[in-house]
Structure 1
Amino acid sequence: MNALAEGQTLKFSPGLTVVYGDNAAGKTGYIRILKSACRARGREDILGNVVSGGAPLAPVVAIKYKVGAEEDVREWSGQGEDDFISRVSVFDTQCAAVYLTEKTDVAFRPFGLDLFDKLVKACKTVRSKLEGEQRALGSSVLGTLQEKVPEGTAVAKLLSGISSLTKPETVQALARILPEEEARLALLEKSLQDVQANDPNKLIRQLTLRAGRVRALARHLKDVEKALSDEALAAVFD
């Protein structure tokens, strides 16, 4: 920050704080920082140390303060405008030159009149949110939902004729899942997991083997049935 030594801290007392030193000691550097953070005429840019012998680094500054009886410490890190620090006025010789030699508009806003600016900002924020909700409601959410529902189902018929007169009880009735439907869904999910987890070729071989065993059992039962038929028994005992 200018030619100030790194890591310097300037503390302000509750009363009067006097900063003194030789020429080029850095007093003006602190004033430039305060003029950037507070209210002042003739602000100056905060630069890095141009006499350091190398490329000046980006200046870094922080102002820590408390408001009233607050325990938490607030901090301004050199970016944007702080609502509380900007209430402090800074005056130096350059500010005096601005008042004396330049044509400026003198404006004074009593404390509290910034409420109107804040009200306008709040109204714009509310308007933006309401317009966003309106756009969301106006989008074809129902059409997207209808594409995911199979045609001919009770839900599809309800969505095709839904209106402001549709009773919530009708929608809730279709949204409920019966116990037998939950059991069927669980069975289908388990079957799907089994199919996805097993090797299809291996599953085909297993099912083919089982089918062969079932066919062999069926042939054996037919042979037993034929051997125990009335004709077979009559031929044995006659």
Structure 2
Amino acid sequence: MSDDDLVAIRKNVIAAARLSEELVEGESLDRGHLGISSNETRRTAILQLGPVENIDRLAPNQQLRFAPAGITLVYGENGSGKSGYTRIAKRLCRSLAADDLRGNVFAESGNARKVTVRYKVGDDEPIALEWDPQTDAPGVLQQISVFDSGNARLYVDTKNRVAYLPKEIAILEHHGEICQRLSQGFATDERTSLTRISVPFSTGYSPGSSVTAMLARLDPARTDLPIADELNTLAELSDAERGELVDLERELAADPMAMAAARRRMVALLGRIDEVLVGLQEALSNDFEVKLAAARATCIEADKAVRLSAMERFANEPFKNTGTDAWRILFEAARAFAISSGDQTDDRLPAVEGDLCLLCQEPLSEAGASRIGRSMTSSAARLLAWRRRRERGLKKHSAA
């Protein structure tokens, strides 16, 4: 039984319960599935197997005889051919699993395989048959069942007793296993469905009406559950009910309490919009533009004053443009180099006579030390002016 077969059986069970119309066509059971291809009711017995040609390495002129009644015991050492004759019997008779007949690996390939079989039906004379394994065996031999360790169902109980399960019992057991698997799947579906439908229904319907009667029937414990057509019919609205629904919608739209709540929400929203518009108006007003222009002019004047102060302070220096922005970049780079190349932790440059110059690394003269000192004073003044301009700009921006 494959998984696809099990799915098909499940669909057919659901269709049989009238929960679906999807019916899967399956293969019908016939006599061939039961291993019965003859209408013969008399007892059939095998009397002889062999001689055998080109099957395993069985002796070609050897015969394995069986008593027509009673028990025949066949014994021999490993490799004597017992399993080979058993495989022949499983192909001739009924068996849960038949093995392929193998040729003699030491002989030339392509030789035909043959088995001489003698059997007896009822009290008739024995019949001798040269059987080709490529053809079907006589149907009367299907009355005989062959069991071995390869196809018998083996069970070991607590007392370690070994029993072989006949094919008929195995079919019933397999049928029970399939029913159990289907039952587990349906139980899972039932739990899922119960979870989905375990919700409270609407209340307030008039007692004794068709709706209350239908709701009372929606109980998984009841056997008279309503069908889909009944629910659809009850859910349909009549023309009068549709007109009543339109009137109710109109009345709800004109409800004073609902209208008041809508107005209150609208007033709150408009108030918030007014606040945003007032703020935008103040930010874009002429007064704010005048303040920004004044602050910008103040910054420009302060920058000019600092530049003039630097030019006056360094007017007598050997190089032109000392104190300008380009010179300040070199000065700040020298300050960073001083911090990174020495043990000092502050931003002081060598400014005392005898200190080493950062560029030529020779002792500073009195004039060089004085020049560096004035530079540090000018740099500090420019930094202080920049900080003041920045603080004034931040204050005005915050006020805006």
Same fold (TM over 0.5): no
- TM-score, length-scaled by structure 2: 0.24
TM-score after normalising by structure 1: 0.39
Higher relative contact order (CA 8 A, sep 6+): 1
Give the structure with the larger strand fraction: 2
